[in-house]
Chains A and B, each alone.
Chain A
Amino acid sequence: MKFRPLVVSAAVVAAASLALTGCSGSAAGSGSGSAPTTLTLGVLQNINSFDPAQAHLGHQMQIYQAAYDTLILRESDGTLSPMLATEWKYNDDNTVLTVDLRDDVTFTDGATFDAKAAKANLDHFTEANGPDANQGQSIESVDVVDDDTIDINLSEPDPAMLYYLSQAAGFMGSPDAIGTDGVKTDPVGSGPYVLDKEASVNGSQFTFTKNDDYWNPDLQKYDKVVFKVLTDVTARVNAVVSGQVDATLLDPKTSKQADKKGLKKTSYPVDWQGFLLFDRGGEIAPQLKDVRVRKAINYAFDRQTMLDEALLGEGEITSQVFGKTTDAYIPELDDAYTYDPEKAKDLLAEAGYPDGFTLKMPMPDGTETFMAMAKQQLADVGITVEYSSATFADYVPNIIQGKYSVAWFSIFQGEPWVAIRQMISTDAAYNPFKTTDDEIAGYIDAVHFGGYKSGELAKKVNQYVVDNAWFAPWYRVNQLYYSDDSKVTVEPQIQQAVPNLYNYAPVS
């Protein structure tokens, strides 16, 4: 035997690799993809925990929706329909919400869904310190009225409460499972699908199979639903173009490949992008105290050119922060600040900065293109921008802690009260300097206590923040959702980057 050592070591290595392949390949043994209808979605984010109280909005929603039902169902156009709750009603001062519940629903571990279970979930949600815990902030207590009725007592009216009950706050898990360690990796809900743990790898793929005892088969259109976690946009475009996933979210730069392949594109604006002029009191950047300076910044941007260059035109220019699909939207405000560098210079001169000034700003990774454009345009009117690099991991925390006077951001355009609590009210994360005055406080109060009229009342808030140039929005960004329409029909979901799981159906 010539080469004994080499041959033997090669054989050992080969055997080892085969053994590794073999054991992982056969360990689960559940076989692959023979089910008649399977929906495979490429999702952007992994989930932290399957405990419903740790659920997060946005990209993670549809994974939770596979396992859990919400009290209220939010239709694709934003209207709220019964789900686990059949009816709901506020008392006269909007502080007690009485909710009637279904009495024919069972969780996958056999526990019954009733008023006690609903109370247990809402209590757990308010105590569990989850990412969307703020949705339960106004819930003071929950009373069991009878077997299928609860009273949700609010510390103060919350115009977004019903919306929240269609989101993270509304997910109902088995009362025996919520709060345990087990539920973090193995969801126990009453939802349309059940997690197949054997066929799932956390951070890579979650496989769900049909819940045979589901109470509402209308919402259960597939035998199997697979979520592939593809955080990398290149991997997502490859997966959808090659047919490995049926639908996924792309961005303007990568989507051309999907267009060429003839995939169906659904695009609608969800976020707005631009600068948030946080320091309206002039604590870090004294110049920003003057509304004329903030207006000058607004007039300095050639929004259409930026949109065309940075996002290949996938969006709509705007000067307001409230979304088109909300009651707070005022069409005229979209061009409240049209590109006018001369006017910007005049305003700066009036404010006492004829030679401009220097503005320090963070620049997170990946935003270089449009940040360079913004810098150029501000320089054209005399404002010198000095960028410091920032990582996304620290970016939001630094914003919230008030370390930046101005920062770029991409913000979700939600329901008016959600948007106000996100960036305008004094407890808003994106109002780190807690800017306020009697006028805006009055408008916010009107929305807060406005009951069913609150959406309409938010127009005043919108007008105020545009007039006072609290922000310098550039455009609403189109979310580009691609699907293979020979396999799946997808209905877009208003104000959501990714549709609800209920919006997908197989092509028959």
Chain B
Amino acid sequence: MLTFIIKRIVSGITVLIAISCATFFLLYYSGSNIARNILGEYATPDQIVAKEHELGLDRPIIVQFGEWATRAVSGNLGISWFTSQGVAESLLTRLPVTLTLLIVAIICIATFATVIGIAAAVKRGWIDRVVQVGAVLGEAIPSFVLGIIFVTIFAINLGWFPATSSIQPGSTGSAWVLSLALPAIALVVNGLTSTAQQIRSAVIAQLEKDYVRTLRSRGIPETIVLFKHVLRSAAPAGLTVLSLHFIGMLGGVVIIEQIFALPGMGALAVQSTVLGDTPLVMGVVIYTVIIVIIVNLLVDLANGWLNPKVRVS
């Protein structure tokens, strides 16, 4: 098990390094006129040169990357070019918003999808058909479209929720709950039906296996067969889908956070990329990759825990 974890961590670090390099070089060659963007349209050529020198943009890209990487390894992600704020500080104020949103959404998806998926597999009939159709619809409607619909109905017309975030440092718990409700529901609807569909298929596949027939023939109660044996064997498929959803939602929140003006990582990613704020974009990328690596590792561990066969392979 330990070698397994170490291997995963090493490959995670490799991915992290590769993505950091790629992002840095892409930002550099995207040709944004950073100094001009910071100084605005009236800046003279002299001003631009001075600003580029101040930011170190007049040096070769290898030197710039080397300097950034050296600092990043020691935990210093630098200072945003456009907000003058420390990158780590910016990210740490925004990470809780995004993670809370994602974690709430993923818990809801996991819980409801399991219940619905099992119900569809066991009962079949109309529930099954609803899940099948729902899976197609749920995948087809992007979460940001749902977000816009929800804002119009529940925030503006009915006034039940704030239309834009009221999450800020110092805001109360209820502000968090109300602000996160609509974006979280938009994310949940999108992931719920397809996850339920996966769990349904996995459960059906298990129910057809010989060991189920054996258990049943020995007179073991149906609930124990279902929840102790079948679900445990079917869980890895569900977990994998959930982890894919989680990672997919990391992309989805980019637009969701813009719509709801949530002060999270996604909004920060958009703002900093549009401006070409290299230190901040790099920070967002690194944090996001680390989250993805951790999620994948956790899912692998959970799968191994649920199903010893995975550990061996």
Q: A residues near B, CB below 8 A?
A: 2-3, 5-6, 9-10, 13-14, 16-17, 20-25, 27-32, 46-51, 56, 129-134, 181, 184-185, 198-205, 207, 228, 230-232, 234-235, 238-239, 241-242, 244, 257, 393-394, 396-397, 400, 422, 429-430
Contacts and interface: CB of A to CB of B under 8 A. Distances in A.
A393 B156 contact: no
A24 B176 CA distance: 10
A29 B170 contact: yes
A48 B94 CA distance: 18
A258 to B, nearest CB: 11
7 contacts: A30-B170, A47-B83, A50-B84, A205-B168, A242-B159, A242-B163, A394-B31
B90 interface: yes
Contact of B37 (A6, A200, A393): A393
Contacts of B39: 129-131, 133
Contact of B168 (A10, A14, A204): A204
A244 B159 CA distance: 11
Interface stretch (B4-12, B129-137, B270-278): B270-278
B88 interface: no
Contacts of A204: 165, 168, 261, 263, 267
Contact of B169 (A2, A10, A200): A200
A25 B176 contact: yes
A25 B172 contact: yes
Nearest to A184: B84
Contacts of B192: none
Interface in B131-176: 148, 151, 155-156, 159, 162-166, 168-173, 175-176
A393 B32 contact: yes
A24 B97 CA distance: 9
B231 to A, nearest CB: 7
B84 A185 contact: yes
A17 B104 contact: yes
**Number of contact residues on B: which range applies?**
35 or more
A24 to B, nearest CB: 4
A198 B168 CA distance: 9
Nearest to A242: B163
B36 interface: yes
Contacts of A207: 168
A257 B276 CA distance: 33
B234 to A, nearest CB: 11
Main secondary structure of the interface of B (DSSP, over half): helix
Given A31-B170, A131-B39, A203-B268, A3 B231 contact: yes
B33 A393 contact: yes
Nearest to A427: B44
Contacts of A429: 41-42
Interface stretch (B47-55, B58-66, B67-75, B202-210): B47-55
A6 B267 CA distance: 32
A230 B43 CA distance: 26
Interface string B78-89: 000011110000
Contact of B96 (A2, A20, A31, A46): A20
B227 interface: yes
Contact of B47 (A5, A133, A199, A397): A133
A202 B164 contact: no
A129 B51 contact: yes
Contacts of A394: 31-33
B302 A232 contact: no
B168 A238 contact: no
Interface of B: 31-33, 36-44, 47, 50-51, 54, 82-85, 90, 93-94, 96-97, 99-100, 103-104, 106-107, 110-111, 114, 148, 151, 155-156, 159, 162-166, 168-173, 175-176, 224, 227-228, 231-232, 235, 258-261, 263, 267-268, 271, 274-276, 302, 305-306
Contacts of A244: 162-164, 166
B36 A20 contact: no
Given A21-B176, A205-B168, A400 B162 contact: no
A185 B172 CA distance: 24
Contact of A185 (B85, B176, B224): B85
B287 to A, nearest CB: 14
Contacts of A47: 83
A400 B99 contact: no
A235 B259 contact: yes
Contacts of A181: 84
A235 B37 CA distance: 24
Q: Which of B93, B106, B260 has the most CB of A within 10 A?
A: B93
B219 to A, nearest CB: 18
Given A6-B235, A242-B163, A396 B42 contact: no
A204 B148 CA distance: 20
Nearest to B271: A203
Nearest to B273: A393
A51 B268 CA distance: 22
Contact of B156 (A184, A198, A242): A242
A28 B170 contact: yes
A-B pairs with lowest CB-CB distance, top 8 = A28-B170, A204-B263, A184-B84, A238-B163, A242-B163, A131-B40, A397-B33, A17-B103
Nearest to B228: A2
Contacts of B83: 46-49, 185, 202-203
Nearest to A14: B107
A199 B93 CA distance: 11
Nearest to A245: B164
Given A5-B305, A400-B41, A25 B271 contact: no
A5 B238 CA distance: 14
A477 B25 CA distance: 40
B173 A25 contact: yes
Contacts of B235: 5-6
Contacts of B156: 238, 241-242, 257
A50 B82 CA distance: 11
A173 to B, nearest CB: 14
Contact of B99 (A17, A133, A185, A430): A17
B169 A396 contact: no
Contacts of A400: 36, 41
Nearest to B80: A202
